[in-house]
Structure 1
Amino acid sequence: MHSVTAIVVAHDGARWLKETLAAVLRQARPLDRVVGVDNGSRDGSGALLTEAFGPGNVLALPRSTGFGEAVHEVLRRLPPAPGEEWVWLLHDDCVPDAHALQALLWAAEQDPKAAILGPKLRDWLDRRVLLEMGVTVSRSGRRDTGLEPREYDQGQHDGIADVLSVSTAGMLIRRDVWDELSGLDTALPLFRDDLDLCWRARTAGHRVLNVSDAVAWHAEASARRRRRIATSEEHPRRLDRRNGLFVLMANLPFGALVRSVLRNVFGSVLRALLFLLAKQPANALDELAALGSVIGHPMRLRRARKARKQGRKQGWPAIRRKLTPPGAAFRRLADMVQGFLAGAGPVDSAGRHHAAADRAQEDDGDELLTDSGGVQRVFSSPGVALFLILTVITLVAERTLLPGLLSSDGHLGGGALVPVTGGASDLWRLYVEDHHAAGLGSQTWAPPYVAVLAGLSAVALGKTWLAVAVVLLGCVPLAGISAYAATKRMISYAPARVWLAATYALLPVATGVVAGGRLGTAIVIVLLPVYAALATRVMAGSRRAAWGLGLLLTVGTAFVPLAYVLVAILGGLAAVSFGGIRRGVRRSLVIGLGTPVVLLFPWLVQIAREPGRILLESGLHESGLHVGRLTTPRLAADSLLMLSPGGPGVPPVWATAGLIAVALAALLLRRHQMIVAIGWGVMLFGLLVAIVVSRVDDAAWPGVPLAFAATGLLVAAGHQAHRIAEFRASGGLRRLGAMLIVVVAFATPLAAAALWVTRGADDPLRSDLSDPVPVLAELQSEPGEGTLLLRPKDGTVGYTLMRGRGPLIGESDLTPPRETTERFTTAVAGLASGRGSTYVQTLAASGVRFVTVPGSVDPALRRALDSQPALVRVSLSETGGLWRVAGQVTVPPPPATAGGLHRGWLWAQGGLLVLVLILASPGARTKEPDVDYADAPVEEGPRGRRRAKENKGRKDRVPA
């Protein structure tokens, strides 16, 4: 025969307690004993308990008493009841259904091993929302209900489930089991005490059940900070995290404990960093303080583990099956990062339902569970599918580059790309040194894209070739996914976004970028859709978007200065157009356009002194390390109109005819005319800049302005795509016209992909380039001595001076002193023409020890070099020739530099960069506490009366 003792513990819970007490007293299965405990309430909770249960059934305890300690005190004073006694624990903010106790006892009768049972918990406010149907925990100590956020109860989880833990809000426990386990741990006055008790019960061989027929509604007042916690001065978040870690580490076997410590140290540091980036320093501190509180008190943890030693190892296999599966941990991390990127701050997902853990397979003590639903969602995304398709197309088109790229002998280079050598440390050294000994020497500021590339190389495990390969060879799929993601807010019609992204990724600019080795333009075409997306938010006055635009524009400007000019002109036009209409637009534009100027200031001063460099991008420009012309002088009008920048790797001009046709069709539709006009305006602006670039400097490539032009056309056409879908559904001639437009639209990316795959992407870019410095010259050169590389081309001789190694990316953009350059160039010309040994002496005075000519040596050049008495031929073959300077070689000493100024700016630049990163990073949208709007104070005057009227219609909420 059962007897039930109900214990209701109250602490400043009068707001909910009256309804709780009424629900307890109207249970269909009458209670044998009821006891109320008032933990020092100051809101009349004690009086409510006395009124409901009588003065003899209420116990008053100090305000600092915890829930478990209160229950212990009651059971210490109450003698055991006859028969099998059950203790029903209830919070003051938990209202059980009238049949809740009856359903719990019925379930207990069905399973003799059941010792702890809990009800289905629903939300107090929205009583359809599920809160808990049993609780588990991950191996990192994260609480996991297995429910989706705000999941409605539709009977989808009904039944009696064997779970790891149930809440003390409505927990029914056999008294003999309570005594056997010594009840709730009083060292956990709040949060996770229920998990600890249930874990110990399962370790002792008992079962913990959740009974869905028993329903209770829970306000979770303490967890949601709807009342002040008197048992601890710590923040509820820190207290919950600390107790979760403590319970986990106190109950795990030793081997699992070691893995848990390592996992939590790494995970907590990562979460703290994300919290800091989300501008939540308090949360970051809570995360680290909670971990330190547990690990920093090993004796406390040791005592707790000793008290839980019995049955821990034997019960671990059953417990392990109830923990959150490892697959759900990856989903939690993805949701956390997604919440951070969405601006909501790092958040935890609910994870999978505890039942999924029962299906996990074990292998050497670890569960293996595949989150097939998450994988299916990822790979069914149109953006992911597009990225994979573009990746396959890229790999096929670059099939001749991949073998050399994967080998250890060749270097990626050609076109505008210097053969990639060195690693991240070499690039960092190049960026921070105040005097560059490479080549003829230079004291100019290293181009800032060197720092960007060094950072990317660091992420790529220090391998610069890998970073360059991903950005340059992967720019097509990267541009595609960038365009797809960036247009989410601009274009809601998914097929239009797919078409836009595919067309943008396969523009002639993109394929020309790969073939020409144009690393700078590759960066810009990947970032350009993000510029457009951020610009729309800047036009709405978003300050954070302005900082983000400024940061990414800094990266693009470092590689292609012309990108800043284009964005600045468009931003100025936008400020004139919208600055007087929308508040904060001008200020946001100043932030977005001013950030690159501040971060790149010294280097931009150098660019301003040579305005022609604004039209050039990073890399080589018709110098001695590549063969063939990279640009088409005075690009034809049809190429410009069809957005083809000329040069190697671009398809025929007709390949983009479909895009132009669709953009023209968009002009005929009546909706979104403003957006279409803006898109065409950007197109015409980009086209005009491309014309200027192609006419002013033969070495300048109009790829970036044409990419801007194409972006405008794509946005203009994409915004009207839903109208095409409406025409297709209408039938008749409209349907036929819509089908024709669709065919023409998709002809552009399909034709571009087919032509790119057929032609390949390896000319002039190559991946099998040998080291430009011959091995013999590298071995026999003293430190600081150089090797002069000569490359005859079109009746002239280009040259590069290499100091013991091949040039690094960025060294070609360094500017030596003019006098030194002129003297050295004259000496090289004299050497190539065989006009005397004086020129060899000039070269020797500059540290030249060897002269090399790669490939087949021109006979005239060979005779000129052999005629110099100060040069000794070392070798000559079809692969190249090598000559050695016979006389003494002098290594020029480094000149005095203003190192303090240079280092000071680098520190300032680093500090500014960190500040911009913080300002540009997503901040958390703090959830407002629930407020009882009906009781809100009313302001005087018309505004107050209007707000009172609005609040009257709002849903009643519990005040914070």
Structure 2
Amino acid sequence: MDPRPPHTGAPTKAPGEVPAELPAVVPAVVTVLVTHDPGVWFEETLQSLADQTYPDLSLLVIDTGSEVDPTDRIKAIVATAHVHRLDHDPGYGAAANLVTELVEGAAFYAFCHDDIALPPDGIRSLVEEAFRSNAGIIGPKLVDWHDPRRLLQVGVGVDKTGVLAPVTERDELDQEQHDAVRDVFVVPGACSVVRADLFDALGGFDDGIDFLGDDLDLCWRAHLLGARVMIAPTARVRHLEALGERRPIDDRRRLLARHRLRTTLVAYGPFHRARVLPQAALFAFIEVVYAILSGHPDQARDIASAWPWNIRRMGQIRRRRKALGSVRRVRDKEIRALQGRGSARLNSFLRGQFGDREDRVTTFARSSRDIAGAMRDGSRQLTGTFAIVLAVLLVVSSRGLVFGGIPAIGEFARFPNDPQSLTQAWWSGWRRAGLGAEGAQPTGYGLLGVLGYLSFGAMGLLRSVLVIGAIPVGALGAWQLARPIGSARSSVAAFAVYLALPVPYNALARGSWSGLLLYAASPWILLAMGRATGIAPFGPALAADGERAAGSPRRRAAPLLFGFGLLIAVVAAFVPFVIVIVAALAVATSLGSLFCFRVAGVFRLLAITLGACLVAIALHLPWSLDLLRDASPWDSIAGIGPTTGGPLGLGRILRFESGPWGAPPLGWAFLLAGALPVVIGRSWRLEWAVRAWFIVLAGWAVLWAGQEGHLPVGLPAAEVILAPVAAALALAAALGLAAFETDLRAYRFGWRQLLSVAAALGVILGALPLGSGILDGRWQMPEDDFATALDGLVDTRGRAGFRVLWVGDPEVLPASGWRYDDDIAYATTDRGVPTVLDRFAGGPPGATPLLADALRLAQGRRTNRLGHLLAPMGVRYLVVPSRLSPTSTNAEDQRQVPASLSDTLAQQLDMQELPVRDGLLVYRNTAWVSGRAVLPDREGDRTSFTDAVSDDLSAGRPAVTIDDGAAGAKGTVDGRGDLLVAATGDANWALRIDGVPMGRSETYGWANQFAATRTGPARLTYDTPVARRLAAGGQAVLWLVVIVVWVRSRRRQVERRIAPARGAA
């Protein structure tokens, strides 16, 4: 395409000659005026067009869905104007492109916004200069509408990433210092004259750019075709800049970032894309970090969102790039010579122009007159910087866990090597915990198995993500919890306070996965409850006129109920006690509402919470039913915490000092931030602060009562109780910052302002001790576990199956178990090393209580042959830990072994103590027999587990020694006789030798015994009842149904919310 002007019939000039004026037959010019809901200035714009002195000028007005038809206003001033109305607003570029369909024979198009005023010779001056300078696109000098002495734009330059670099300072006095005709990279889109043939060759404006950036895209592509882009300052056009105020569009900064990146992706060739895009990404990253540090999270989001927005439209971009490539004539190297060097964004920042200068000066002047205002402005940088520092601290202080691995302490059990082990366990009807029992499997096995497949079998990585990743998930939840408040700084404050509280770091140090999961979930739970109330700021109810929360939509009950239920169900798969916590949170929130004399939202909150809990319970059927059928349902749900009290006093509870983090005096500092909204807050900020404090006080009270031994039942780990308390305190801190911004100005300067500053400093001081986590990079978590401590001592190399019986304080046991007395618990693991399959012990125990009965017989001095009693149970080792880890040095991890227990074990004739590290007592059972073995000959029947005292089973020969699936085994049987299977007797167990089924009976009153009448290859199976299979399948289907219902109901809710906005547009 030749960018030369079209032939007009005028005499041809020599190459060096310049016409002094327009030829006798002037080229036709069509002014394209795009309008949308024009204001009172519109008549002045139309009059300026009517007064043009250009002889062959037509006016095409394209109205983009104005609420009031502007045709009469247009015809009243320009009777010859052509008006084309659209029923919607497709964007400026798409509307302007209609000129190619509506007009024929024009030589130039003059594209104008509807808020400009041209001088009478404006179009003539631009067309003359276009002929004189052979320009493809030319524009005027833009000046302020109200004060034409002030310059707005005289052309624009760009850098290599498309960032605009204005030639003039905004509002600079026009002293004719920019009146030279010159080439520029971009002509501002308010008024530009474009050659019609060039416009056609370019394919017009980019339809994908609806507003802002259309001028950059058009001019860049014009350069690629070899056309000149120029400014003719002799034409002075006034510009009101009112278009952006009248269009229902997103934030201007967000659109500029998106469209700038889109233009660079289209315009650059492969080499320069590979060279420039990484630099653009780097500059964007720097600006995102700076925006967060300076307390502008919305700006950071706008900049970062430009990349995924363009990635989703790569198909459009490739098509436009291909079309441009077919006509381009200029290489990118030549285009780069027209662009500015370096980064225009960085240069403007260094010149102090990163933000709008007038806004900054005005804000500073206002703040200098108001001390509270100055503190409000400074809080943005303070909270943003503090949040970034905490996030960096989290990453650096967790480096040892990321690169060195997480030890299997407390609840951080190892995962199996492949996800199949977990899915097989969930599908099986046999639970292997203790001595085994028939029953439903925990849903957590199935969920972990699915996650294992999604992580391509990287089970170690999955374990690390589920442990360490709980902290950022919780922090993100705190951010989202505060978002309805309407202040970005409130979200940053909630994020920072929640990260600074020591709850997750104590959970890491103490091996409390339950605490970490509750830390991750608690903000999301509170957010769901807030939405359930429908009360401001989480809904429109009770919102005062003019409040930012007044626009918060009311959530429909169905998507809220199912979404909340799914959230509870996912957490309950690993921490069933979350259902109790959710119910308690709903009651505490309701009491807080009543305390504020607010009944609105209480019934809806209780109804949706109850429904969500029922959904969660239903999703865990039949496992949830087995937990409730247990002999001690509370222990199955809450765990087997001690009932005689704990080491945490009231002061440590108030400081969240459940472990090594949160020590005084700095541990008290967080309370000031939470108390601030109660002191200075008003309206819904005060009411929600009261609700948050009801949650805080209720959690503290329950934990204190449990630690003092005032409760008849045990409680889970302290972090499980403290996590929702921390989330409520973070919400209170966010409300405090919102009150600081909104309500503090209503008070005279005094102690409230000083308290606000003290609260902010308190959060920072409270977080200072976390800096010591940088030293070890593990949050004081031990480096090893019992598996490493017992390596080489406990024989795990042999193929004979065996169990390890663990006895001690439940907080230092590496597996879940059963209560022995008020302070001691017991648990079992297969082949020594605990895994996540030993994580759940609730439900019908089968014969497992016999383990405790055997210990009581020995402790009551009624036998000194405990090993013989445990031998048929396959117990080869008995381990009594007194620490969370053999190398743990934290005082909180130390637990004294009861003297009566250690003395009892020392008196047993068949239990040999093995030398190990401090913190462990390990005994080897010299009377042990493999859990699957052909027993030596015995006389008479064995109907009680006590009959084993007189039996020497150590000569038994291991059989079917290879584990097969979740419960079965395979191998060979080398001898005839009674074959013991050390699992609770159940008729669904079957043994086949050479394919021949063997007869089953029970021995010692509890264990399976098969009459091995032959030798050879054998297979031991547990035939899961069909009812169990159907129940498991039904559970999987129910999960899918609930997820689908939630997604569809949520989608309908979004569509209903968007529909009115579309109708208004």
TM-score between the two structures when normalised by the length of structure 1? 0.60
Deviations 1:274-333 (A, max 9, x none): xxxxxxxxxxxx9999876887xx8x997x4674154467766569989999999xxxxx
Match in the other structure for 1:594: 611
Match in the other structure for 2:626: 606
Q: In 1, distance between residues paired with 2:259 and 2:489?
A: 45
- Give 3-state SS (helix, strand or coil) of 2:191's partner: coil
Residues 1:747 and 1:838: Cα distance change in structure 2 (over 3 Å)? closer
Match in the other structure for 1:417: 412
2:54–2:123 Cα contact (<8 Å) kept: no
Find the partner of 1:802 among 830, 834, 838. Answer: 830
Correspondences of 1:140-179 after superposition (within 5 Å): 154=171, 170-173=191-194, 178-179=196-197
Match in the other structure for 1:896: 1025
1:519, distance to aligned residue in structure 2 (A)? 0.9
Correspondences of 1:750-899 after superposition (within 5 Å): 750=768, 761-762=779-780, 766=784, 769-770=787-788, 781=799, 786-791=801-806, 800-802=828-830, 808-813=835-840, 818-819=845-846, 821=848, 843=874, 856=916, 861=924, 863-865=926-928, 868-870=954-956, 891-898=1020-1027, 899=1029
Q: In 1, distance between residues paired with 2:755 and 2:113?
A: 68
2:867–2:927 Cα contact (<8 Å) kept: no
Rg comparison, structure with higher value: 2
Task: Give the residue type in structure 1 aligned to 2:403.
Answer: L
2:169 is equivalent to residue 118 of structure 1: no
1:7, distance to aligned residue in structure 2 (A)? 1.0
1:513, distance to aligned residue in structure 2 (A)? 1.5
1:14–1:48 Cα contact (<8 Å) kept: no
Match in the other structure for 1:392: 393
Find the partner of 1:185 among 192, 200, 203. Answer: 203
Deviations 1:572-593 (A, max 9, x none): 4545775995655533542344
Residues 1:670 and 1:243: Cα distance change in structure 2 (over 3 Å)? closer
Residues 1:824 and 1:383: Cα distance change in structure 2 (over 3 Å)? same
1:562, distance to aligned residue in structure 2 (A)? 3.2
Match in the other structure for 2:423: 429
Task: Give the residue type in structure 1 aligned to 2:1020.
Answer: V
1:517, distance to aligned residue in structure 2 (A)? 0.8
- Give 3-state SS (helix, strand or coil) of 1:861's partner: strand
Residues 1:155 and 1:816: Cα distance change in structure 2 (over 3 Å)? same
1:559, distance to aligned residue in structure 2 (A)? 3.8
1:552, distance to aligned residue in structure 2 (A)? 4.2
Q: In 2, distance between residues paired with 1:614 and 1:458?
A: 33
Residues 1:293 and 1:646: Cα distance change in structure 2 (over 3 Å)? closer
Q: In 1, distance between residues paired with 2:85 and 2:695?
A: 72
1:481–1:501 Cα contact (<8 Å) kept: no
Deviations 1:778-819 (A, max 9, x none): 8775xxx8453355769999663438x955425431557643
- Give 3-state SS (helix, strand or coil) of 1:89's partner: strand
Residues 1:93 and 1:415: Cα distance change in structure 2 (over 3 Å)? same
- Give 3-state SS (helix, strand or coil) of 1:569's partner: helix
1:598, distance to aligned residue in structure 2 (A)? 0.7
Match in the other structure for 1:406: 403
Q: In 2, distance between residues paired with 1:21 and 1:153?
A: 26
**Aligned residue pairs, count:** 789
Residues 1:474 and 1:181: Cα distance change in structure 2 (over 3 Å)? closer
Q: In 2, distance between residues paired with 1:434 and 1:449?
A: 14
2:511 is equivalent to residue 517 of structure 1: yes
- Give 3-state SS (helix, strand or coil) of 2:138's partner: strand
Match in the other structure for 1:560: 575
Residues 1:323 and 1:120: Cα distance change in structure 2 (over 3 Å)? farther
Unaligned runs of 5+ in 1: 79-86, 227-239, 262-285, 329-350, 354-376, 623-629, 845-850, 873-883, 932-958
1:911, distance to aligned residue in structure 2 (A)? 3.4
1:912, distance to aligned residue in structure 2 (A)? 1.6
Find the partner of 1:33 among 56, 66, 70. Answer: 56
Q: In 1, distance between residues paired with 2:192 and 2:219?
A: 10
Correspondences of 1:366-765 after superposition (within 5 Å): 382-383=383-384, 385-386=386-387, 388-389=389-390, 392=393, 402=401, 406-407=403-404, 412-422=407-417, 425-426=419-420, 429=423, 433-435=427-429, 444-449=439-444, 463-466=458-461, 468-469=463-464, 472=467, 483=478, 486-487=481-482, 502=497, 505-507=500-502, 509-532=503-526, 534-541=528-535, 542=539, 543-544=554-555, 546=560, 550-572=565-587, 574-575=589-590, 578=593, 581=598, 585-601=602-618, 602=621, 603-610=623-630, 612=632, 614=634, 633-635=644-646, 638-639=649-650, 642-643=653-654, 649=660, 656=667, 678=691, 681-691=694-704, 693-694=706-707, 695=709, 696-697=712-713, 700-708=716-724, 749-750=767-768, 761-762=779-780
2:519–2:720 Cα contact (<8 Å) kept: yes
Match in the other structure for 2:110: 89
Q: In 2, distance between residues paired with 1:743 and 1:22?
A: 60
1:833, distance to aligned residue in structure 2 (A)? 7.7
Residues 1:326 and 1:214: Cα distance change in structure 2 (over 3 Å)? closer
Residues 1:136 and 1:107: Cα distance change in structure 2 (over 3 Å)? farther
User: Over aligned residues, Cα RMSD in angstroms?
Assistant: 7.1
Find the partner of 1:911 among 1041, 1053, 1059. Answer: 1041
Residues 1:605 and 1:15: Cα distance change in structure 2 (over 3 Å)? same
Residues 1:52 and 1:454: Cα distance change in structure 2 (over 3 Å)? same
Q: In 1, distance between residues paired with 2:661 and 2:474?
A: 17
Deviations 1:864-906 (A, max 9, x none): 449722279xxxxxxxxxxx99977863334234334422331
1:203, distance to aligned residue in structure 2 (A)? 1.9
Q: Which has the higher helix share?
A: 1
Unaligned runs of 5+ in 2: 1-19, 88-93, 250-255, 278-308, 348-353, 357-377, 540-553, 810-819, 876-910, 930-951, 959-971, 980-1017
Match in the other structure for 1:204: 225
Task: Give the residue type in structure 2 aligned to 1:34.
Answer: L
Q: In 2, distance between residues paired with 1:184 and 1:426?
A: 58
Residues 1:928 and 1:413: Cα distance change in structure 2 (over 3 Å)? same
Residues 1:316 and 1:72: Cα distance change in structure 2 (over 3 Å)? farther
Q: In 2, distance between residues paired with 1:929 and 1:871?
A: 77
Correspondences of 1:919-958 after superposition (within 5 Å): 923=1054, 926=1058
Q: In 1, distance between residues paired with 2:760 and 2:62?
A: 71
Task: Give the residue type in structure 2 aligned to 1:690.
Answer: L
Deviates more, 1:201-210 or 1:721-730: 721-730
Q: In 2, distance between residues paired with 1:495 and 1:463?
A: 38
Residues 1:927 and 1:153: Cα distance change in structure 2 (over 3 Å)? farther
1:431–1:448 Cα contact (<8 Å) kept: no
Match in the other structure for 2:879: none
Correspondences of 1:187-336 after superposition (within 5 Å): 198-209=219-230, 213-216=236-239, 253=269, 304=323, 307-308=326-327, 310-311=329-330, 317=336
1:518, distance to aligned residue in structure 2 (A)? 0.7
TM-score between the two structures when normalised by the length of structure 2? 0.55
